[in-house]
Amino acid sequence: MIASLITTALYAFDPPPVGTAAPDFSLTDAKGETHSPSQYKGKYVVLEWFNPECPFVKKHYGTGNMQKLQEEYTSKGVVWLTIDSNAPGSEGNLSADAAGKVMTGWKTRQTALLLDPEGKAGRAYGAKNTPNMVVINPEGKIVYEGAIDSKATPNPADIPNSTNYVKVALDESLAGKPVTTSTTKPYGCSVKYK
């Protein structure tokens, strides 16, 4: 039992630091269209790691908190890419079909829900949690990465009393100010990589 815990890290991917160029990737969404951060240069891009089974993700979708954010900022011209990096066969991995159903069922408002079964995009960003949030500026530099908000719990009742770091980062960026809190410790379920 103890021995089964001893697993060696095959990959050592740390998140690229804030201020550096956002790594590029190319993934297909639920409709089969291809998206990459580089094609959205000139716009703010939000990356959100996703797992529909994860209680921390459910916290923000079950209350409509995430949908509200997506709607508010996509209407301001921000590109919002939700990414599922969970490996096939593990919890939260979505087929294109299932992804479409989740989007309609949950009334999500992101630009696209991208499928990353190989975990390429997730590893490039060192994304370890769902949710894990990244904000990229129009120059293609990372301006925020970390948690969605300040209360690391799965309890929806905590949302009204927490600071939403993504909202703050986007508001500051859109107002032309530097981001005050640019790195936080993300919280949530682990991404189930291949």
Does 141 participate in binding another protein (rule CB under 8 A)?
Answer: no
Judge whether 133 and 146 are in contact, CB under 8 Å.
yes
| DSSP class of 137 | -
The residue from 64, 100, 126, 156 that contacts another protein (CB under 8 A) is 126
Does 64 participate in binding another protein (rule CB under 8 A)?
Answer: no
Judge whether 121 and 27 are in contact, CB under 8 Å.
yes
Does 10 participate in binding another protein (rule CB under 8 A)?
Answer: yes
Give the residue among 194, 191, 164 at the shortest CA–CA distance from 15: 191
Judge whether 129 and 186 are in contact, CB under 8 Å.
yes
Q: Using CA of residue 135, residue 154, residue 6, residue 117, what is the dihedral sign?
A: negative
Does 73 participate in binding another protein (rule CB under 8 A)?
Answer: no
The residue from 128, 133, 172, 173 that contacts another protein (CB under 8 A) is 128
* Packing angle of the helix pair 165-174, 65-74 (nearest 10 deg): 10
Stretch that binds another protein, among 24-32, 53-61, 62-70, 106-114 (CB under 8 A): 53-61
Does 114 participate in binding another protein (rule CB under 8 A)?
Answer: no
Phi-psi region of 146 (alpha: psi -120 to 50; beta: other; left: phi over 0): left
Stretch that binds another protein, among 15-23, 24-32, 60-68, 104-112 (CB under 8 A): 15-23
Does 18 participate in binding another protein (rule CB under 8 A)?
Answer: yes
Binding site for another protein (CB under 8 A): 1-2, 5-15, 17-18, 53-56, 85, 87, 90-92, 119, 122-123, 126-129, 146, 150, 152-155, 182-194
